[in-house]
Structure 1
Amino acid sequence: MKSEPSNHLKRINKELGIERIVELLTERIPGSDLSTLLLQVFQEKTKKLDPGELLKRYQTNRVVQPVSIDLIKLRQMELDVLKIASNHFFTPVQLSPVAPLGSCSVVAAVNQNKVLSTIRGTEVVSDATNLLALHISDMLKSGKKSNREDYIRFCTTHRHVRTQFFNKPGMLPHFHLFCMVTSGRDIGSYHFERQSFWEHISIYRDIFQSLFQSDIEVILSGRGGYQDPEGMLRRVVQHGERFSIQVSIKEPNLENQYYKGLQFTVITKINGEEHNIGDGGFVDWSQKLLASKKERLIISAIGLDRLC
């Protein structure tokens, strides 16, 4: 079902005297031609800019401005967390600043308006786990990698940009995350879910114990997407009893379709202050990208800016 045009679009249609301009541009013009058209439009617009107006745009655009953070401390923390993950057999990957257009909205329940889209068929990375999932799926599709005998484990640190307005302390228009993605195959008995989940949790435990001398707490919440989500959740918890990590379970949120089976939240206390510092869970992105129900994927991330 097509959505009704907003009041802004109705005004634009009326001023230009062109009905359904969005429909014309999306359905009547090939993507390459649309890029050519928009490139010319923005080239002509920049010709009309003067330096004073450029400065004014910088001053009024929160997305392009730097944030107040100790950059040296942030860079050191990036190295520290990547080394810890690497010691757990996760391969660090340097991602591109941009991803294919629709990298989040096509496979996950994300509104494209929250993403900084470009006119060259790309978008500024708003979630590195989506780009890692694409990278893994590409390697699996081409035969460069296999997840049948062992999992594919990738990690990265990346600056993210999201365009929605956050009116909360510590919420920034661009921010640094440490992310992990594990890919595997379903072999029954929730083997992938049990093992991959606790691999991620073990790394977070080591990060906070090593860098902040603090323990972590994990809060689980059930999600849909599995035939027996309660049974899967129970098996995952039982598998982690030997890790001596505090785990609690809150009410499931089956209406939340972003994660499948379960979502987890990582909480830690540093210098007496509690931080809800990251989250993760299982997703069906690789199943969609590779058209295979046997594919399994877990993603997770913690925020580094707040830790600095």
Structure 2
Amino acid sequence: MNDPVLQRIERELKVSLLSEKLSLPDLTTLLLEVYRQKAARRTPAQVLQEHQQSRFVRPARVHPLEMLKWEMAVMSALPEQIEALVLSPVAPLGSCSVVAGVDQNWSVAAVRGLEVVSDATNVLALEASSRRKTLLKQNPKSRERVHLACSHRMLRPQFYQNSNQIPHFNLFCMVSAGADQGNSDFEFESLVLHLNTLLTALQNFWTQAIPLKLTVSDFPGKNRNQQIEDRVFQALQQQFPDLDCQHDPERTHGQNYYSGLCFHLYALPTDQEILCLADGGEVNWSQKFLSNRKERMLISGLGGDRVVGLQAD
């Protein structure tokens, strides 16, 4: 506990006792009463002032009609095997930090043992793992795959140096879950499925084509470069011949997040800096949720605000 504010509160209130001794339901009851009393003391002027000053509550910069057009384009691009969902604004406490290895402070915690969704891929991963669990109960050798997607507005509390980064933004997410089928079949087929969907949606949405670059890495060093060339690059360039496909063996970002194949998708607008639109890859989350090393999962996310912003430019 290095934060001096937390150290002071700990000395005065013994925060550790609240976190260790109180059950989550009891803590929820306590916090609900604290916030009820805090809200009762607020004035309308104070509420208005916070609305004007808080970076979390300001409206998005994108036009709602353009965002709606993007969501229609990307949902229309979904192949029939991918099911689209409308997620709740909140998720179970620890939805990201427990399996993804990110700090809990990257999510806005809420009372009632919940948190505001900061990454919908984690929520889709929970739902996909739940469905895989049901399938495995019915057939312990089930190879049936689960493909889910959503378009959701995220809220993230961390500060960014880049002024273009905002606390809340749209993210289109996909998650595929299934069993290991050997020869990395699940991984490559899911990766191509996700990328094909994203590229089709972008192609359908932009009125003027914007050059795109795809980079693919393979963190464990499994020497799958030729498979990436044959099973990813060639498959995609048949439909998207102008797509710039490159290996990225030097990538280090996300090494503790992704467990194998991973990608970045960049936009290369004229006279503008390169803009990362999407990333994704293999994760071991379903293995953790289901305690089954044979489970496989691949995720992806694409920033809707950035896509709409490029269209506006």
TM superposition score normalised by structure 1: 0.89
Tell me if structure 2 keeps the 8 A contact 1:193–1:236: no
Q: Quote how far apart the aligned CAs of 1:145 are.
A: 8.8
C-alpha distance after superposition, 1:6-27 (max 9, x if no partner): 321221233x2x4xx2221111
Cα deviations across residues 60-109 of structure 1 (Å, max 9, x unaligned)? 21101112211011011101101101x35311111111000000000012
Candidates 37, 43, 50, aligned match of 1:57: 50
Q: What does residue 38 of structure 2 align with?
A: 45
Specify the code of the residue in structure 1 equivalent to 2:293.
K
* Aligned 8 A contact 1:217 1:247 in 2: yes
Q: CA deviation at 1:220?
A: 1.7
Instruction: For 1:125 and 1:230, locate their aligned partners in 2 and report how far apart those are by CA, in whole Å.
Output: 33
Shift of 1:142: 3.2
- Pairing of 1:228-247 with structure 2 (within 5 A): 229-240=221-232, 241-244=234-237, 245-247=243-245
- Partner residue, 1:276: 276
Query: Which of the numbers 241, 245, 248 marks the counterpart of 2:246?
Result: 248
> Contact between 2:212 and 2:266, CA under 8 Å: does it hold in 1?
yes
Secondary structure of 1:301's aligned partner: strand
- What letter corresponds to residue 221 of structure 1 in structure 2? S
Q: 1:52 to 1:35 in 2, by over 3 A?
A: same
Cα 1:100–1:255 shift into 2, 3 Å: closer
2:169 to 169, 175, 181: 175
- Secondary structure (helix, strand or coil) at the match of 2:299 reads strand
Give 3-state SS (helix, strand or coil) of 1:26's partner: helix
Structure 2, unaligned stretches of length 5 or more?
A: 238-242, 309-313
Normalised to the residue count of structure 2, the TM-score between the two structures is 0.88
Please, which moves more after superposition, 248-257 or 260-269? 248-257
Change (3 A) 1:255 1:72: closer
Displacement of 1:271 after TM fit? 5.5
Partner of 1:305: 305
Contact 2:151 2:172 in 1 (8 A): yes
Deviation at 1:233, TM superposition (A): 4.6
- Asked if the contact 1:74/1:305 (under 8 Å) is kept, the reply is yes
Conservation of the 8 A alpha-carbon contact between 1:197 and 1:236? no
Distance 1:178 1:196 in 2: 16
- Counterpart contact for 1:190–1:232, Cα < 8 Å: no
- d(CA) in 2 for partners of 1:139 and 1:242? 29
**One of 147, 151, 157 as aligned partner of 1:153:** 147
Q: Deviations over 1:175-203 (max 9, x none)?
A: 00111111111021111111111111111
Contact 1:88 1:203 in 2 (8 A): no
SS at match of 2:255: coil
Structure 1 spans left out of the alignment, 5+ residues: none
User: What aligned pairs does 1:86-235 form with structure 2 within 5 A after superposition?
Assistant: 87=79, 89-143=81-135, 148-212=142-206, 213-224=209-220, 229-235=221-227
Asked if 2 retains the 8 angstrom alpha-carbon contact of 1:222 and 1:254, the reply is no
CA distance in 2, matches of 1:47, 1:108: 38
- The separation in 2 between residues aligned to 1:28 and 1:37, in whole angstroms, is 13
- Structure 1 residues 6 and 162, CA gap change in structure 2 (3 angstroms): same
In 2, the alpha carbon distance for the partners of 1:37 and 1:110 equals 27
Where 2:98 maps in the other structure, the secondary structure is: coil
